[in-house]
């Protein structure tokens, strides 16, 4: 159980990192300022989790 | 240029919220050791599986040097029930044992003190005014921080009973007794406490809690059958001299709770004390620091008028001093009753305020100034 939890947690953080990178990538490619604001707002909770702040 | 500005604004948002969460998680809570504290150990001294983790709690030993009983008082099982933690704080900062030995824990589930309820709009901390300034405490939550233990299963299967419990309660210290050495952080924590209880020969174990007024188990002692005589005695004495205190048996088929599992898995008599906390009620109004400390809430009063509560409430509420005083008196009364029932193994203390004294002078009066003692007499939770 504990080992399984650790594996799932590692996968979870890998997913969070992947989504964060994708959001930044889309932010760079976007040409619509409303989309850019949206990407930044969505990115914040992902970063907070990735850096284990919340 | 536009992207840079938007990105910078996002970074500001991330940095400010991140700093706030970081500081809240690491807020240092000083403990000024009572003259009666003879040793401070760590939970990891009793089980390697929690050493160095967030739940490697401080254990405050107050040894009279006179043979007698050993009592363990556990605060902070559910940190969002602050009267339990504060009552334990008053013991650690004021108690001097005259007979027997007292072990006090202020952060039973320290991980749970570092997070508040997701979506609950809880304040991250609260402040108690003292005679010399103020003290700020982490508010915490009922469950271990998901940053320390995650993910939760679909169903929590309690070990060793195999009973099915709510998924989130796998992070609830009071559903994880007696724990297991190779389990989750919460299970390893209760296992470590069981090791402490067994190795130190604890005679009486007390778990301090608070409850919402809509919950039927309130203003009461929940007792393992091995402690029924003691609990009945305490309940009668408190109800006769200070405040109403009920007594209930620990249900045999409700597993994972301290009052059941500590009694079943050790020689200790296991008791759990509940005080009223309107802050926890689902019908409460704004979830603020003021509400937490005054226990005043017009919506909970309305619920009482509708007959939905199991404890009385009026506009005076349930101030923190009343709730803490209930716990300190109940602990002291348990010492007296134990000594009367077991004169060959007495336990007696001085310096701890009872119910009326806590109400009269306030909780803060009994919290000591860290600057007034040598640094070696201060610990941090």
Q: Name chain B contacts of A41, Cβ cutoff 8 Å.
A: 10, 13
Q: Which of B3, B151, B184 sits opposite A27 (nearest CB)?
A: B3
Q: Across chain B, what does the average pLDDT equal?
A: 96
Taking an 8 Å Cβ-Cβ cutoff, which residues of chain A contact chain B? Answer: 1-2, 5, 8-9, 12, 27-28, 33, 36-37, 40-41, 43-44, 47-48, 51-54
Per-residue model confidence as pLDDT tens digits over B17-59: 999 999 989 999 999 999 999 999 999 999 999 999 999 999 9
Q: Name chain A contacts of B3, Cβ cutoff 8 Å.
A: 27-28, 36
Distances (CA, A) of B291 to A33, B107, B202: 42, 22, 36
Residue B326: strand, helix, or coil: helix
Percent of chain B clearing pLDDT 90 (strictly above): 96
Distance CA B107, CA B94 (A): 17
Distances (CA, A) of B28 to B79, B125, B141, B363: 15, 11, 17, 19
Cβ pair B3, A27 in contact under 8 A: yes
Tokens standing for B7?
A: 């990105």
Q: Which of B9, B18, B184 sits opposite A48 (nearest CB)?
A: B18
Q: Are B14 and A47 inside 8 Å of each other by CB?
A: yes
Q: Which residue has the tokens 């803060």?
A: B364
Per-residue model confidence as pLDDT tens digits over B311-353: 999 999 999 999 999 999 999 999 999 999 999 999 999 999 9
Nearest to B104 by CA among B66, B64, B74: B74
Instruction: pLDDT band for B258, please (50, 70, 90 cuts).
Output: very high
Q: Is the pLDDT of residue A2 over 90?
A: no
Closest-CA residue of chain A to B17: A48
**Sequence-ordered list of residues with C-beta below 8 angstroms from that of B245, at least 6 positions apart, any chain:** B219, B220, B221, B234, B235, B238, B239, B326, B330
Residue B266 pLDDT: 98
Residue B118 pLDDT: 81
Q: Are B9 and A40 inside 8 Å of each other by CB?
A: yes
Instruction: pLDDT band for B121, please (50, 70, 90 cuts).
Output: confident
Q: Which residue has the tokens 């009343």?
A: B322
Q: Is the pLDDT of residue B119 over 90?
A: no
Q: Are A33 and B2 inside 8 Å of each other by CB?
A: yes
Distance CA A27, CA A30 (A): 5
Distance CA B354, CA B367 (A): 14
The single-letter DSSP state of residue B119 is T
Cβ pair B206, B75 in contact under 8 A: no
Residue B281 pLDDT: 95
Cβ pair B62, B104 in contact under 8 A: yes
> Would you call B97 exposed, middle or buried from its count of C-beta atoms within 10 A (0-12, 13-18, 19+)?
buried
Residue B136 pLDDT: 97
Residue B339 pLDDT: 98
pTM of the model: 0.94
The region that residue B40 occupies, defined by phi over 0 for left and psi between -120 and 50 for alpha, beta otherwise, is beta
Q: Are B7 and A48 inside 8 Å of each other by CB?
A: no
């Amino acid at each position: 159980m504990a080992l399984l939890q650790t594996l799932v947690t590692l996968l979870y953080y890998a997913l969070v990192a992947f989504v964060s990178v994708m959001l930044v990538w889309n932010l760079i490619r976007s040409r619509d300022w409303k989309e850019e604001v949206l990407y930044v707002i969505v990115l914040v909770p992902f970063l907070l989790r990735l850096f284990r702040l919340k | 240029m536009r992207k840079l500005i938007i990105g910078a604004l996002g970074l500001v948002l991330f940095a400010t919220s991140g700093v706030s969460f970081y500081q809240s998680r690491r807020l240092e809570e000083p403990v000024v050791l009572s003259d009666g504290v003879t040793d401070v150990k760590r939970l990891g001294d009793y089980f390697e599986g929690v050493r160095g983790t967030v739940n490697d709690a401080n254990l405050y030993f107050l040894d009279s040097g006179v043979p007698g009983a050993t009592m363990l008082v556990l605060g902070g099982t559910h940190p969002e029930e602050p009267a339990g933690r504060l009552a334990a704080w008053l013991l650690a900062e004021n108690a001097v044992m005259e007979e027997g030995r007292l072990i006090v824990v202020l952060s039973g589930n320290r991980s749970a003190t570092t997070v508040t309820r997701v979506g609950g709009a809880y304040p991250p901390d609260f402040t108690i005014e003292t005679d010399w300034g103020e003290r700020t405490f982490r508010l915490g939550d009922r469950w271990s921080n998901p940053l320390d233990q995650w993910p939760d299963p679909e169903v929590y299967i309690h070990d060793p009973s195999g009973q099915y419990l709510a998924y989130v309660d796998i992070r609830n210290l009071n559903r994880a007794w007696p724990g297991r050495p190779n389990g989750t952080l919460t299970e390893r924590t209760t296992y470590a406490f069981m090791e402490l209880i067994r190795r130190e020969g604890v005679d009486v174990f007390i778990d301090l809690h608070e409850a919402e007024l809509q919950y039927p188990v309130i203003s009461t002692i929940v007792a393992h059958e091995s402690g029924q005589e003691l609990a009945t005695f305490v309940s009668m004495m408190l109800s006769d001299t200070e405040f109403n205190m009920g007594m209930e048996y620990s249900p045999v088929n409700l597993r994972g709770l301290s009052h059941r599992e500590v009694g079943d898995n050790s020689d200790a008599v296991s008791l759990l004390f509940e005080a009223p906390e309107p802050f926890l009620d689902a019908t409460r109004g704004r979830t603020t620091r003021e509400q937490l400390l005054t226990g005043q809430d017009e919506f909970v009063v309305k619920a009482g008028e509708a007959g939905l509560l199991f404890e009385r409430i009026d506009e005076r509420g349930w101030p923190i001093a009343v709730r803490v005083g209930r716990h300190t008196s109940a602990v002291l009364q348990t010492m007296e009753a134990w000594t009367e029932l077991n004169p060959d193994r007495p336990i007696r203390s001085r310096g701890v305020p009872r119910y009326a004294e806590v109400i009269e002078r306030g909780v803060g009066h009994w919290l000591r100034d860290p600057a007034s003692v040598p640094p070696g007499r201060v610990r941090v939770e």
